[in-house]
């Protein structure tokens, strides 16, 4: 069976590095990380994790606060950064393929070429999750319901229609022979809200990233029907993959950051070097393991090329799935 999906991977950085500035330049004053979602979503988690580790390790001498700026699956955040934060060397913005889909759908006039992609610091698997008492006991139950009537199953996700979480559902539908545009998808401003909708019985299945589901999984409030990968999660190895249950879908999400346009080379190099060092600290390893992220990374020019190439690929995928003409 032909495998359908997206594999967003990277090269693991080898060798330990101490957190030290990559150049003579150092940030001065308070730092900020913009999370283009409401609290609880993947972007919010990405911001808060880096802020915590950078401060704990002393890599960033001052404090770093997180600003939540939801809207348009990253469109509001990138517009704010491009138009109002040019040259701000103390600012980083969390990103993932969700923003790439926003760019590919042309829901923002801005692209990765208008900002400065900085680093991919990890990757995680997407998946489908249900309440502990859901009638869907296995992925086979979900597949049967969708094949009988695609509109009988409602999915929630933390991105706009045609965005990252919607793509998880669309790719899954295509893999099981269901027309992707017929599936009911309810969008929210972040994975936290999507999870709340499912827990409240407003939607039946949540299309989330593992880090967004971790707390409720560990509390026994929800169950994982499938991980969207050909490999099981290192954090939750008991959750079977979609592939081994007859739905060959890979969806691995990178976690990273970009900076505002107009940042000096010295400042950009400092952040690249600091991010490289951060992912090799014990503090980061502990957080990564807690979140269920996989240790795959990209930095600087390598990351810049990746996100721009990805936007082109996703535009073609969206056309194939019928979400753009």
Q: Does pLDDT of 22 surpass 60?
A: no
Closest CA to 65 of 36, 93, 31: 31
- Band of pLDDT at residue 214, cut at 50, 70 and 90: very high
Q: How far is CA 223 from CA 8, 135, 177, 274, in A?
A: 25, 11, 24, 37
Segment 112-126 shows an average pLDDT of: 95
- Band of pLDDT at residue 34, cut at 50, 70 and 90: very high
Q: How far is CA 33 from CA 50, 155, 224, in A?
A: 9, 30, 30
Residue 19 has a pLDDT of 55
- Please give the backbone phi and psi of residue 292, each rounded to the nearest 5 degrees, phi first: 85, 20
Q: Does pLDDT of 47 surpass 90?
A: yes
* % of the chain with per-residue pLDDT over 90: 72
Segment 110-138 shows an average pLDDT of: 96
CATH 3.40.190.150 domain residues, the chain = 4-123+254-320
Q: Could you give the CA distance from residue 227 to residue 77 in angstroms, rounded to a whole number?
A: 29
Q: Strand (E) positions, 114-233?
A: 116-131, 154-157, 184-187, 205-209, 222-227
Say what the pTM is: 0.76
Q: Could you give the CA distance from residue 291 to residue 4 in angstroms, rounded to a whole number?
A: 26
3-state SS, residue 260? coil
Segment 277-292 shows an average pLDDT of: 94
Q: Could you give the CA distance from residue 253 to residue 207 in angstroms, rounded to a whole number?
A: 13
Do residues 179 and 210 make contact, with C-beta atoms less than 8 angstroms apart?
A: no
Q: Does pLDDT of 50 surpass 50?
A: yes
Residue 240 has a pLDDT of 97
Q: Strand (E) positions, 182-325?
A: 184-187, 205-209, 222-227, 249-259, 298-299
| pLDDT tens digits, one per residue of 160-207 | 888 889 989 998 999 999 998 899 999 998 889 999 999 999 999 999
Under CATH, which number does the domain 4-123+254-320 receive? 3.40.190.150
Residue 6 has a pLDDT of 46
Segment 83-89 shows an average pLDDT of: 97
CATH 3.40.190.10 domain residues, the chain = 125-251
What token pair was written down for 175? 């893999």
Mean pLDDT, all residues of the chain: 90
Q: Does pLDDT of 247 surpass 60?
A: yes
Under CATH, which number does the domain 125-251 receive? 3.40.190.10
Segment 142-157 shows an average pLDDT of: 97
Do residues 88 and 25 make contact, with C-beta atoms less than 8 angstroms apart?
A: no
Q: Does pLDDT of 5 surpass 80?
A: no
Residue 259 has a pLDDT of 98
Segment 273-285 shows an average pLDDT of: 97
**Residues ≥6 apart with Cβ < 8 Å to 315:** 104, 324
Do residues 36 and 43 make contact, with C-beta atoms less than 8 angstroms apart?
A: yes
Segment 13-36 shows an average pLDDT of: 71
Runs of H (alpha helix) within 67-184: 75-84, 97-104, 139-148, 164-175
Q: Does pLDDT of 59 surpass 70?
A: yes
């Amino acid at each position: 069976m032909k495998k359908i999906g997206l594999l967003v991977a990277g090269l693991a950085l080898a060798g330990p590095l101490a957190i030290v500035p990559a150049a003579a330049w150092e940030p001065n004053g308070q730092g900020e990380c913009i999370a283009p979602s409401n609290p609880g979503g993947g972007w919010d988690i990405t911001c808060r994790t880096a802020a915590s580790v950078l401060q704990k390790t002393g890599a960033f001498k001052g404090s770093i606060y997180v600003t939540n700026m939801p809207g348009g699956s990253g469109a509001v955040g990138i517009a704010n950064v491009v138009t109002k934060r040019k040259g701000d060397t103390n600012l980083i913005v969390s990103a993932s393929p969700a923003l790439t889909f926003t760019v590919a759908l042309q829901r923002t006039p801005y692209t990765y070429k208008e900002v400065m992609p900085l680093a991919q610091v990890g990757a995680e698997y997407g998946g489908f999750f249900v309440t502990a008492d859901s009638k869907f006991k296995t992925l086979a139950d979900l597949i049967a319901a969708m094949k009988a009537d695609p509109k009988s199953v409602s999915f929630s996700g933390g991105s706009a229609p045609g965005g990252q979480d919607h793509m998880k559902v669309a790719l899954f539908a295509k893999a099981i022979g269901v027309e992707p545009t017929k599936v009911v998808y309810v969008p929210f401003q972040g994975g936290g809200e999507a999870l709340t909708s499912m827990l409240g019985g407003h939607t039946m299945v949540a299309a989330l990233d593992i880090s967004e589901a971790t707390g409720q999984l560990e509390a026994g409030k929800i169950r994982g029907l499938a991980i969207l990968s050909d490999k099981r999660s290192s954090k939750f190895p008991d959750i079977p993959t979609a592939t081994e249950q007859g739905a060959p879908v890979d969806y691995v999400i990178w976690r990273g950051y970009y900076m505002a346009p107009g940042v000096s080379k010295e400042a950009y190099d400092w952040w690249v070097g600091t991010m490289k060092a951060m992912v090799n600290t014990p503090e980061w390893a502990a957080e990564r393991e807690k979140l269920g992220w996989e240790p795959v990374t990209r930095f600087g020019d390598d990351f810049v090329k990746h996100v721009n190439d990805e936007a082109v690929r996703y535009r073609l995928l969206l056309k194939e799935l019928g979400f753009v003409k």
